[in-house]
Amino acid sequence: MAYADQQMSGNKITALVIVALIHVFVGYALVTGLAYEAAKKVINKVTTVDIKEPEEPKEEPPPPPPKEETPPPPIVAPPPPINIAPAPPPVQTVITPPPPPPVVIPTAAPPPPPPPPPPSKARGASPKRMSSWAGRIQANYPTRAAREGREGRVGVRVTINTDGRVSSCSVTSSSGSPDLDEAACEGMERYARFDPALNDAGNPTTGTYSTAIVYRLN
Protein backbone atom coordinates (compact mmCIF):
# COMPACT_ATOMS: atom_id res chain seq x y z
CA MET A 1 0.00 0.00 0.00
CA ALA A 2 2.80 2.47 0.89
CA TYR A 3 4.72 1.56 -2.27
CA ALA A 4 1.74 2.34 -4.43
CA ASP A 5 1.34 5.71 -2.79
CA GLN A 6 5.00 6.56 -3.37
CA GLN A 7 4.74 5.56 -7.06
CA MET A 8 1.61 7.66 -7.51
CA SER A 9 3.32 10.70 -5.96
CA GLY A 10 6.37 10.31 -8.26
CA ASN A 11 4.15 10.18 -11.35
CA LYS A 12 2.32 13.34 -10.26
CA ILE A 13 5.61 15.15 -9.71
CA THR A 14 6.90 14.04 -13.11
CA ALA A 15 3.73 15.24 -14.81
CA LEU A 16 3.90 18.60 -13.05
CA VAL A 17 7.54 19.04 -14.11
CA ILE A 18 6.67 18.18 -17.71
CA VAL A 19 3.76 20.62 -17.74
CA ALA A 20 5.98 23.38 -16.27
CA LEU A 21 8.62 22.79 -18.92
CA ILE A 22 5.99 22.92 -21.64
CA HIS A 23 4.73 26.25 -20.37
CA VAL A 24 8.28 27.60 -20.31
CA PHE A 25 8.84 26.35 -23.82
CA VAL A 26 5.61 27.87 -25.09
CA GLY A 27 6.44 31.15 -23.55
CA TYR A 28 9.88 31.13 -25.03
CA ALA A 29 8.49 30.16 -28.43
CA LEU A 30 6.04 33.00 -28.35
CA VAL A 31 8.78 35.42 -27.40
CA THR A 32 11.24 34.19 -30.05
CA GLY A 33 8.56 34.02 -32.71
CA LEU A 34 8.41 30.30 -33.16
CA ALA A 35 5.59 29.03 -35.23
CA TYR A 36 2.32 28.92 -33.28
CA GLU A 37 1.23 25.71 -34.95
CA ALA A 38 4.29 23.76 -33.82
CA ALA A 39 3.80 24.87 -30.25
CA LYS A 40 0.11 23.96 -30.39
CA LYS A 41 0.83 20.42 -31.61
CA VAL A 42 3.40 19.90 -28.90
CA ILE A 43 1.03 21.21 -26.23
CA ASN A 44 -1.81 18.99 -27.41
CA LYS A 45 0.39 15.97 -27.50
CA VAL A 46 1.78 16.62 -24.05
CA THR A 47 -1.36 17.76 -22.31
CA THR A 48 -3.40 14.86 -23.53
CA VAL A 49 -1.25 12.41 -21.62
CA ASP A 50 -3.60 10.45 -19.42
CA ILE A 51 -1.93 9.29 -16.28
CA LYS A 52 -3.77 6.40 -14.73
CA GLU A 53 -3.30 5.79 -11.10
CA PRO A 54 -2.76 2.20 -10.11
CA GLU A 55 -5.84 0.57 -8.61
CA GLU A 56 -5.78 -0.13 -4.93
CA PRO A 57 -5.86 -3.81 -4.07
CA LYS A 58 -9.20 -4.95 -2.73
CA GLU A 59 -9.25 -6.06 0.86
CA GLU A 60 -10.48 -9.55 1.44
CA PRO A 61 -13.44 -9.81 3.82
CA PRO A 62 -12.60 -11.32 7.20
CA PRO A 63 -13.57 -14.94 7.63
CA PRO A 64 -16.95 -15.46 9.34
CA PRO A 65 -16.81 -16.26 13.07
CA PRO A 66 -17.19 -19.89 14.00
CA LYS A 67 -20.75 -20.93 14.74
CA GLU A 68 -21.49 -21.47 18.40
CA GLU A 69 -22.96 -24.78 19.21
CA THR A 70 -26.46 -24.29 20.64
CA PRO A 71 -27.00 -26.32 23.81
CA PRO A 72 -29.73 -28.93 23.71
CA PRO A 73 -33.10 -27.79 25.09
CA PRO A 74 -33.66 -28.57 28.79
CA ILE A 75 -35.61 -31.61 29.70
CA VAL A 76 -38.99 -30.49 31.03
CA ALA A 77 -40.96 -32.94 33.12
CA PRO A 78 -44.65 -33.14 32.20
CA PRO A 79 -46.91 -31.30 34.71
CA PRO A 80 -48.74 -33.46 37.22
CA PRO A 81 -52.37 -34.17 36.42
CA ILE A 82 -54.78 -31.59 37.86
CA ASN A 83 -57.94 -32.88 39.44
CA ILE A 84 -60.70 -30.50 38.47
CA ALA A 85 -63.46 -30.73 41.07
CA PRO A 86 -66.98 -30.41 39.75
CA ALA A 87 -68.48 -26.95 40.12
CA PRO A 88 -70.79 -26.59 43.15
CA PRO A 89 -74.46 -26.27 42.40
CA PRO A 90 -75.56 -22.70 41.78
CA VAL A 91 -76.89 -20.89 44.80
CA GLN A 92 -80.30 -19.45 44.21
CA THR A 93 -80.63 -16.04 45.79
CA VAL A 94 -84.17 -15.01 46.58
CA ILE A 95 -84.50 -11.23 46.67
CA THR A 96 -87.37 -10.13 48.84
CA PRO A 97 -88.81 -6.84 47.65
CA PRO A 98 -88.82 -4.11 50.30
CA PRO A 99 -92.14 -3.41 51.99
CA PRO A 100 -94.10 -0.55 50.51
CA PRO A 101 -93.71 2.77 52.26
CA PRO A 102 -96.34 3.53 54.85
CA VAL A 103 -99.27 5.47 53.58
CA VAL A 104 -99.42 8.80 55.31
CA ILE A 105 -102.94 10.13 55.38
CA PRO A 106 -102.80 13.87 55.71
CA THR A 107 -104.85 15.06 58.58
CA ALA A 108 -106.77 18.24 58.44
CA ALA A 109 -105.22 21.07 60.32
CA PRO A 110 -107.04 21.83 63.55
CA PRO A 111 -109.27 24.84 63.35
CA PRO A 112 -107.80 27.99 64.75
CA PRO A 113 -108.74 28.71 68.33
CA PRO A 114 -111.65 31.05 68.75
CA PRO A 115 -110.80 34.62 69.46
CA PRO A 116 -110.68 35.48 73.15
CA PRO A 117 -113.91 36.89 74.46
CA PRO A 118 -114.03 40.61 75.01
CA PRO A 119 -113.40 41.77 78.55
CA SER A 120 -116.45 41.40 80.74
CA LYS A 121 -118.29 44.57 81.71
CA ALA A 122 -120.21 42.89 84.51
CA ARG A 123 -120.31 44.61 87.90
CA GLY A 124 -122.46 44.52 90.99
CA ALA A 125 -124.92 47.15 92.20
CA SER A 126 -123.39 50.05 94.12
CA PRO A 127 -125.05 52.68 96.40
CA LYS A 128 -125.79 56.06 94.94
CA ARG A 129 -125.49 59.03 97.36
CA MET A 130 -125.64 56.62 100.32
CA SER A 131 -125.00 59.25 103.01
CA SER A 132 -128.21 61.12 102.18
CA TRP A 133 -130.63 58.18 102.17
CA ALA A 134 -128.99 56.36 105.10
CA GLY A 135 -129.51 59.46 107.26
CA ARG A 136 -133.19 59.59 106.33
CA ILE A 137 -133.66 55.94 107.31
CA GLN A 138 -132.02 56.48 110.72
CA ALA A 139 -134.03 59.65 111.28
CA ASN A 140 -137.26 57.63 110.84
CA TYR A 141 -136.68 56.04 114.25
CA PRO A 142 -139.56 53.86 115.48
CA THR A 143 -141.57 55.86 118.09
CA ARG A 144 -142.04 53.01 120.60
CA ALA A 145 -138.36 51.97 120.41
CA ALA A 146 -137.29 55.57 120.90
CA ARG A 147 -139.69 55.99 123.92
CA GLU A 148 -138.36 52.78 125.48
CA GLY A 149 -134.77 53.76 124.70
CA ARG A 150 -133.95 50.70 122.59
CA GLU A 151 -131.05 50.80 120.17
CA GLY A 152 -129.72 48.21 117.74
CA ARG A 153 -127.98 47.24 114.50
CA VAL A 154 -129.99 45.59 111.72
CA GLY A 155 -128.27 43.70 108.90
CA VAL A 156 -130.26 43.66 105.66
CA ARG A 157 -129.96 42.20 102.15
CA VAL A 158 -131.86 43.90 99.34
CA THR A 159 -132.69 43.06 95.71
CA ILE A 160 -132.17 45.89 93.22
CA ASN A 161 -134.02 46.27 89.92
CA THR A 162 -132.56 47.51 86.64
CA ASP A 163 -133.74 51.02 87.53
CA GLY A 164 -131.61 51.06 90.69
CA ARG A 165 -134.47 50.84 93.21
CA VAL A 166 -134.94 48.17 95.94
CA SER A 167 -137.60 45.63 95.01
CA SER A 168 -137.32 43.43 98.14
CA CYS A 169 -135.53 43.36 101.52
CA SER A 170 -134.67 40.66 104.06
CA VAL A 171 -133.11 40.85 107.56
CA THR A 172 -129.82 38.93 107.73
CA SER A 173 -128.88 40.06 111.29
CA SER A 174 -131.62 41.06 113.76
CA SER A 175 -131.24 43.86 116.28
CA GLY A 176 -133.42 42.03 118.81
CA SER A 177 -136.25 44.51 118.35
CA PRO A 178 -138.82 43.54 115.69
CA ASP A 179 -139.91 47.15 115.21
CA LEU A 180 -136.30 48.22 114.44
CA ASP A 181 -135.86 45.32 111.98
CA GLU A 182 -139.11 46.20 110.22
CA ALA A 183 -138.25 49.92 110.09
CA ALA A 184 -134.84 49.14 108.51
CA CYS A 185 -136.35 47.17 105.56
CA GLU A 186 -139.13 49.75 105.05
CA GLY A 187 -136.58 52.58 104.95
CA MET A 188 -134.40 50.69 102.41
CA GLU A 189 -137.32 50.08 100.07
CA ARG A 190 -138.45 53.69 100.38
CA TYR A 191 -135.29 55.79 100.36
CA ALA A 192 -132.31 53.71 99.10
CA ARG A 193 -131.00 54.32 95.53
CA PHE A 194 -128.37 52.30 93.63
CA ASP A 195 -126.51 52.11 90.37
CA PRO A 196 -127.89 48.84 88.93
CA ALA A 197 -125.73 45.81 88.32
CA LEU A 198 -124.43 45.14 84.77
CA ASN A 199 -124.02 41.86 82.87
CA ASP A 200 -120.96 40.87 80.76
CA ALA A 201 -122.19 42.95 77.85
CA GLY A 202 -122.61 46.02 80.07
CA ASN A 203 -126.41 45.98 80.13
CA PRO A 204 -128.33 46.69 83.41
CA THR A 205 -129.51 43.59 85.24
CA THR A 206 -130.96 42.59 88.63
CA GLY A 207 -128.52 42.52 91.52
CA THR A 208 -128.27 42.30 95.28
CA TYR A 209 -126.62 44.36 97.96
CA SER A 210 -126.00 43.80 101.70
CA THR A 211 -125.57 46.52 104.35
CA ALA A 212 -126.43 47.38 107.98
CA ILE A 213 -128.63 50.09 109.50
CA VAL A 214 -127.59 51.36 112.96
CA TYR A 215 -130.23 52.85 115.26
CA ARG A 216 -128.74 54.95 118.05
CA LEU A 217 -130.36 57.55 120.30
CA ASN A 218 -128.56 60.85 120.91
Whether the model pTM is above 0.75 = no
3-state SS, residue 157: strand
| Edge-first strand listing for the sheet containing 166-173 | 166-173, 152-160, 207-215
pLDDT at site 31: 59
In 33-64, alpha helices (H): 36-47
Helix (H) or strand (E) holding 69: none
- Beta bridge partners of residue 33, listed in sequence order: none
In the structure, what pLDDT confidence band is assigned to residue 5 with cuts at 50, 70 and 90? very low
Q: Evaluate if residue 29 carries a pLDDT over 90.
A: no
Q: In CATH, what class is 126-215? A: alpha beta
Give the span between the Cα atoms of 22 and 16, in whole angstroms.
10
Give the span between the Cα atoms of 58 and 53, in whole angstroms.
15
Q: Could you read off the pLDDT of 44-88 as tens digits, one per residue?
A: 554 444 445 555 556 666 666 656 566 666 665 566 666 565 666
Q: What is the mean pLDDT of residues 106-121?
A: 83
